[in-house]
Structure 1
Amino acid sequence: MNPSLRYLRLMAFAVRLMTTLLWCDLVLPRLGLGRLSARGRLRRMSAAARRFHRLAAAHGGLLIKLGQFLSTRLDMLPAQVTGELSSLQDEAPAVSAERIAAVIEAELGAPPAIAFAAFDARPLAAASLGQAHRAVLHPGPAAAYGMSQVVVKVQRPGIERIVEVDLAVLRRVAGIVGRLPTVSARVDLPALIAEFATTSRQEIDYRHEASAARRFRTAFRADARVKTPRIAQSLCTGRVLTLEDVTAIKINDVAALRRAGIDPHAVADAFAAVMLDQFFVHRFFHADPHPGNVFVTPTADGTVGGEAGGTGGLGEPDEPGGLGAPDPGFALTFIDFGMMGEVSEALRATVRDFAIALAGERPGELVDSLDRLGVLLPSADKRLIERALAELFDRFGGLSIAQLQRKDQREFAEFFSEFGDLLRDLPFQLPEDFLLIFRAVSIVSGLCSELDHEFNMWDAVRPYGLRLMREEGGNFARDQVDRVIAGVRMFVRLPGRIDDLVSVISAGDLAVQTPGVDRELRGLERVARRAVAGIVFAGLFIGGAVLFGTAAVGAGARVVGVVCMSGSLVPLAYALLARGGRD
């Protein structure tokens, strides 16, 4: 399509969308019809998502990428909209063999028939930004790179111009819509488009992908669970990428996995562990690990994946990625490194705190970590969010997808009845780096649940949180002591608070704002139990230390002191580790 015509067509769609938005969100409320507008907002947004879906499927370019990008923005859009956009597939009509040959000749200095020993003109896959073909290297390059079968990714002719047209439309629309109070209060739209533009330009520069693939391969060089395609550097440019053909079983093809003698449950466990290693250990991760980008490669010789034996990861038998894991008989093969994420030191520290809070199911710390991450906007009610997370942990924490499906639906109804408005209107916006993590984790969780209906992402994350706790060392221990002291203080003040509460109830002045009072009382009971345990620990330990360290006492008293100090470990363990029962 002519770039000018494309620009006009996309702007026409955008003008229609903006007109509806302006009329319903600005004009109608000023006419006293705000409630009517609010009731129809979800229906309008869903209809707009369907129209955009059709537009993107017809015109390709960045529109499909934009739809997939927005489908991850659960911080901005309701589930009905993200669900509609998530079904967009990056597929497009194939470019003719002649045009592909012209791109290869312009980039490599020779047509495909000369640049390669064999070149399949039929595309292996065709996407909106480029398409892939199978080829065979000449003997010299094959020996140099240690491979002969390759896949050649070729950029679509004229795609740079199409990308710039699409970005120009997006910038114009963002500049207008971003000024609306209803939009600017929830999202910095121009900044969001700028992030998307940066990611998109990197994705159409195959040199960026080649560099990312080499870095990923180096990171997992010694990891037996991971395989990464080699790169034929002399046959790569910004518009052509030649890499090893590693096509194997798609990770979500359960039937093919079983035919190959591979347990899908083991694949789910390995996939989750490898992805979590990327986040927490290597701090460089594949941000788009969907089924088309991850294969399962069976191994017949007992060595899996990387170029050498041994494993990567955390290096302890009882931890993820450790030496104690048996050879599963397969490797996870990653391809398409156009969308990668990096965990900065600041982000790592926050994600560490997030993982610790998640592993320990501590809603207060979870909210604090989200706040430090810049996720929560100033208008967020942190106490209400904390209460919602506490209820979520109390009711559904630690359950797999299958267990959740067997839960009484009335429990979900009660939860969303109490916190539905909060979840729908939660004022938060995910930073780009964390968004990529969020996207990757969402994909991983969905794929692993597809492979193993009993898969529990909580259990997969927990070892990393526990390891991070151990890394914290003395800081973590001091934090737990502070918790015990705080619990003791609360216990000391608890009788007075209960008296105050009884007085208020007797006077009829108790105002109940939510139906979660029972849960709050259960929380107080748990705190009281832990506080009592803390007091018992302090009494036993101090008393034992006094008996043991006093020279005037006899040997028998010293033995009693040792017994007291040893016995104090039991209430200490309870005070530090007990979460309380679930009612």
Structure 2
Amino acid sequence: MDFFKIKKTYYSAKRFQEIVNVFIKHGFGQIIDQIHLGRFIALKKRIKTFGRWPYYKITAPERLRIAFEELGPTFIKLGQLLSSRPDLVTIAYAQEFKKLQDRVAPFESEKIYEVIEKELGVSIEKVFHSINPEPIGSASIAQVHEAVLKDGKEVIVKVRRPGIKQQIMLDLTILHNLAKLIEKYIPESKIFDPIGIVEEFSRAITKEIDFRREASNAIVFRENFKDSPNVYIPYVFKEFTTEKILVMEKVKGVRIDDVESLNKKGFNIERLLNNLIEMYFKQIFDHGFFHADPHPGNILVMDNSSIALIDFGIVQRIDEEFKEIYANIALAIINQNTDKLINEYLKLGIIPEEIDKEKLKRELKEDLEDLLFPLYTYKIEEIRISELIESIMKVALKHRLRFLPELLLIDKVLIMLEGLTRELCPKISIIELLKPYAKKIISKRLQPDFYLKKTLKALNEFKEAAVNIPFQLKTLLRKAVKDEITIRMYHVNLPEFIKDIDKASNKISFALIVSAMILSSAIMHAAEVKPLVHGISVFGLITGIFAFFLGLWLIISIIRSGKL
């Protein structure tokens, strides 16, 4: 057990140093120094990468994206998550992270067979008639192969990369530690909640690497659309699905964006797109459970014109309250009701405690009216959802608002669907198709049971609060009696600012002393201060040598800090 602990600690330290080295290499040495990790960088490595630091010819978001690509699967997935969270990392970083590619070289077919046999506990021949050793898709977490079961059914087999879970778990631990250091030593970073980002990412990627979850998602979708003639969800073979492998029915169809093939088969593209959008609105507003990765590769058109969804790794659930708020947002935009739009967005946003809410509402109204007024001169079908969402997001970021992941995932889905319709059939208006669903949600308020459920929910929350009050008061009084109540006041960034000033002033003082010693050495040589050796002043020589080594020490310390 001790041996395995030592081995794990060794790999953790090695990976930690690798991560720090990559960030140094791509010009983030100052941040590494700020969070007190400079000691993990060998001087040789620091000097070796020093010459590459004028990487600043490209922007910080580009450099961070390159660093993520170099660090591998965990960081690529983190970047992809952040690409949909401009409220956390700003629009510039989010746009750059969209360029992250999750394609890697496939692993050997022998390993595929090894993983499958180990997971199923039987030889491959007992389950599969054949497996194509060439993958049809290869990503950082898994790769996908075509196969045929013993009974002749054609299937898709998704196999997790060997060792990828251990790699991700190790990286998550390191990321969590880095996030804690960033919040500790860079207090202004708390606005972006680094620890919260890592925790959200950890939850998402932990689900993604367990294929049993993806199988469950597919089963739920299949049940939800079992009576729909226009939607097809592939069958999952649960008996052959484990944490590391997923066996699913192979769907034969044409990609939704392959216009040439769709036209050859005689499909009505406008009808297909209308069915696709209707399917997504049904997921969001009726089922409260939607497929959150609708890129064209995940949407196939079958010969009977049914639309098939594949890849259920990224999904999202939303409750009735969220659906109602989102419907209100849609109708507020359509009806040009800025006050309503602000109120609903604030319900979904996270407002920093120090912000004056009334002042925020006034400023938001002014900015949103400036934004939306020109759009109100357009016809509904002329409004681009992508531009509208991006503009609203810019206003939100300006006022330091953050949003629930559900809101941003729905926005992402709408933007991707709009991009597809603009390319294939521009006359389709997603906003027009959205209106009846939004009105349907709002009309539920007219039902008597709507207010009954709201009242019961409010009463239940009040009851829980009332039950907790005595306990909370008892805890507060106990702390007061024991004199354990303290009030902490912290000036944001002042301690770090003082440290930086101290370091800078010490280095300046040190440099002045070295300069004075060099000047003194030169004067002693010129004045031929005795004793002399071969016409050279001994004191001048000693002072010069001492100054040389002190100066070299100063240069090395500056290089190690990454702030030269």
Which range, TM-score by smaller chain? 0.5 to 0.7
**Displacement after TM superposition at 1:396 (Å):** 1.4
| Letter aligned with residue 71 of structure 1 | S
Count of aligned pairs between the two proteins: 411
Deviation at 1:89?
Answer: 2.3
- In the alignment, which of 118, 121, 130 is matched to residue 133 of structure 2? 121
Seen in structure 2, the aligned counterparts of structure 1 residues 233 and 474 have a Cα distance that, compared at 3 Å, is closer
Is residue 2:145 matched to residue 1:133?
A: yes
CA contact (8 A) 1:67 1:85 kept: yes
> After superposition, where does 1:532-543 map in structure 2 within 5 Å?
none
Contact 1:72/1:439, CA 8 A, preserved across alignment: yes
In the TM superposition, 1:158-197 aligns within 5 A as 158-179=163-184, 180-185=186-191, 187-197=192-202
Partner residue of 2:443?
Answer: 470
CA distance in 2, matches of 1:399, 1:100: 55
Q: Which one has more relative contact order, counting CA pairs under 8 Å at least 6 apart?
A: 2
Partner SS state of residue 178, structure 1: helix
Question: Which of 307, 318, 321 is residue 343 of structure 1 equivalent to?
Answer: 318
* Number of the residue aligned with 2:374: 395
1:152-551 pair list within 5 angstroms: 152-179=157-184, 180-185=186-191, 187-299=192-304, 330-378=305-353, 379=355, 381-397=360-376, 403=382, 422=395, 425-473=398-446
TM-score, normalised relative to structure 1 = 0.64
Code of the aligned partner of 1:204: I
| Contact in 2 for aligned 1:46/1:81 (Cα 8 Å) | no
Q: Distance in 1 between matches of 2:209 and 2:351?
A: 32
Query: Which residue of the partner structure matches residue 85 of structure 1?
Result: 97
- Of 199-208 and 255-264, more deviation after overlay is shown by 255-264
Match of 1:47?
59
1:20 equivalent among 14, 17, 30: 30
Aligned-partner Cα distance in 1 for 2:376–2:319 = 29
Pick closer, same or farther for the CA change 1:228–1:400 going to 2, 3 Å. Answer: farther
CA shift for structure 1 position 429: 1.2
CA contact (8 A) 1:400 1:455 kept: no
Aligned equivalents of 1:474 and 1:107: distance in 2?
Answer: 51
* SS of 1:76 mapped into structure 2: helix
Aligned to 1:237, the other structure's residue is in SS state coil
Deviation, 1:397, is 4.3
> Aligned-pair distance for 1:357?
2.2
Q: Distance in 2 between matches of 1:82 and 1:45?
A: 20
Q: Deviations over 1:122-145 (max 9, x none)?
A: 111101100011111112xx6xxx
Shift of 1:8: 2.5
Within 1, Cα distance between the matches of 2:365 and 2:57? 29
**Which residue is equivalent to 1:10?**
19
Tell me the residue number matched to 1:64.
Answer: 76
Where 2:283 maps in the other structure, the secondary structure is helix
Deviation of the 1:115 alpha carbon = 2.2
User: 1:463 Cα shift?
Assistant: 1.8
Per the alignment, residue 522 of structure 2 pairs with none
Distance 1:399 1:246, change over 3 A: farther
How far apart are the structure 2 equivalents of 1:293 and 1:450?
17
Contact between 1:356 and 1:469, CA under 8 Å: does it hold in 2?
Answer: no
**Residues 45 and 403 of structure 1: CA distance in aligned 2, closer, same or farther (over 3 Å):** farther
**Displacement after TM superposition at 1:55 (Å):** 3.6
Instruction: Tell me how far apart the structure 2 counterparts of residues 261 and 280 of structure 1 sit (CA, whole Å).
Output: 31
276-285 or 388-397, which deviates more: 388-397
Other structure's SS at 1:295 match: strand
The answer to whether the 8 A contact 1:7-1:165 is kept is no
Q: CA separation in 2, counterparts of 1:265 and 1:277?
A: 18
Distance 1:374 1:442 in 2: 20
Q: Does 1:94 align with 2:106?
A: yes
Distance 2:419 2:251 in 1: 24
- Residue ranges of structure 2 left out of the alignment (5+ in a row): 1-10, 36-54, 449-564
Structure 1 residue 61, shift from structure 2 partner: 1.5
Q: Secondary structure in 2 aligned to 1:100?
A: helix
Is the CA contact (8 Å cut-off) linking 1:119 and 1:136 kept in structure 2? yes
- Following superposition of structure 1 onto structure 2, how do residues 146-157 of structure 1 map, counting pairs within 5 Å? 148-157=153-162
Deviates more, 1:330-339 or 1:344-353: 344-353
Tell me how far apart the structure 2 counterparts of residues 195 and 420 of structure 1 sit (CA, whole Å): 20
Residue 138 and residue 64 in structure 1: after superposition, are their counterparts in 2 closer, same or farther (change >3 A)? Answer: same
1:37 is aligned to none
User: Match of 2:460?
Assistant: none
Aligned-CA RMSD value: 3.2
Encode CA deviations 1:411-465: one digit per residue, 9 max, x unaligned.
x9xx99xx99846523111223333323323322222322223443322222222
Q: Tell whether the 8 Å contact from 1:359 to 1:461 is kept in structure 2 after alignment.
A: no
Identity, in percent, stands at: 27
Do the aligned partners of residues 149 and 243 (structure 1) sit closer, same or farther apart at CA in structure 2, a change above 3 Å counting?
Answer: same
Q: Equivalents in 1 of 2:379, 2:423: separation in Å?
A: 12
Distance 1:400-1:135 versus aligned 2 partners, 3 A rule: farther
Measured against aligned partners, the alpha-carbon deviations of 1:182-214 in whole angstroms (never above 9, x if no partner) come to: 3213x2221121111011011100111111110
TM-score, structure 2 length as denominator?
A: 0.66
C-alpha separation in 1, matches of 2:430 and 2:342: 20
| Post-superposition CA distance 1:492-512 (Å, at most 9, x none) | xxxxxxxxxxxxxxxxxxxxx
47-56 vs 290-299, which moves further: 47-56
Query: Which segment is superposed worse, 369-378 or 200-209?
Result: 369-378
Counterpart of 2:307, as a letter, is: L
The separation in 2 between residues aligned to 1:266 and 1:80, in whole angstroms, is 36
In structure 1, the gaps of 5 or more residues are 26-42, 143-147, 300-329, 476-583
